[in-house]
Amino acid sequence: MSLRERLSEALKTAMRAKDQPTVDAVRMIIAKLKEKDIEARGRGVTDGIGEDEMLSMMQGMIKQRRESIELYDKGGRPELADKERAEIAIIEGFLPKQMSEEEAMAAIRGVVAETGAASVKDMGKVMAELKARYAGQMDFSKASGLVKQALSGG
């Protein structure tokens, strides 16, 4: 079942169960997906974005929520921070299993070796390859630090 089909089914299931937080979160994902599909039409993509772009989009949504949680916690708004945490949990439910730090480091070392990256100047090339291969499985904000470490001889 494709990710689009899983989102549609999850929305129907949540609506039947009257699970409003899940309904809201899945509708939000679907709305963002439609927005990305419309943007892709400008690039000549008529049948919607691919799964890898969908996974990257969802990773971005999680990153935004984590930033919001930090701000809400600092601002003394724990109820809003909890709502964001719940949305993260729902979004993560559609993503593939996340790599551990050890698995991510092994993948990074492999990509560094394959691309012939030798210094931090090659970081963009390595990150692009990682995003192409491991969209949705790797936290790229953490991965960038690991890539720097790998390229600087760590």
CATH number at 26 reads: 1.10.1510.10
85, 106: one domain? no
Please give the pLDDT value at position 17. Answer: 97
Percent of the chain with pLDDT over 90: 45
**Helical (H) or strand (E) element with 15:** helix 3-16
Confidence label for 37 from pLDDT (cuts 50, 70 and 90): very high
Given a cut of 60, is residue 154 above it in pLDDT?
no
- Segment 78-119, tens digit of pLDDT: 999 999 999 999 999 998 888 888 888 888 888 888 888 888
39, 20: one domain? yes
Q: Apex CA 20: angle with CA 91 and CA 18, to 5°? A: 120
User: SS3 breakdown of the chain: % helix, strand, coil, rounded to 5?
Assistant: 75, 0, 25
Overall average pLDDT of the 52-78 stretch: 93
Structural domain of 147: 101-151
Please give the pLDDT value at position 123. Answer: 86
Percent of the chain with pLDDT over 70: 99
- The verdict on pTM exceeding 0.75 is no
Please give the pLDDT value at position 115. Answer: 86
Q: Apex CA 53: angle with CA 47 and CA 55, to 5°? A: 120
27, 82: one domain? yes
Cα of first residue to Cα of last residue in the chain, in angstroms, is 40
Q: What is the CATH number of the domain that holds 141?
A: 1.10.10.410
58, 28: one domain? yes
Per the document, the length of the chain is 154
- Provide the 3-class DSSP secondary structure of residue 8: helix
As a whole number of angstroms, the distance between CA 103 and CA 121 comes to 23
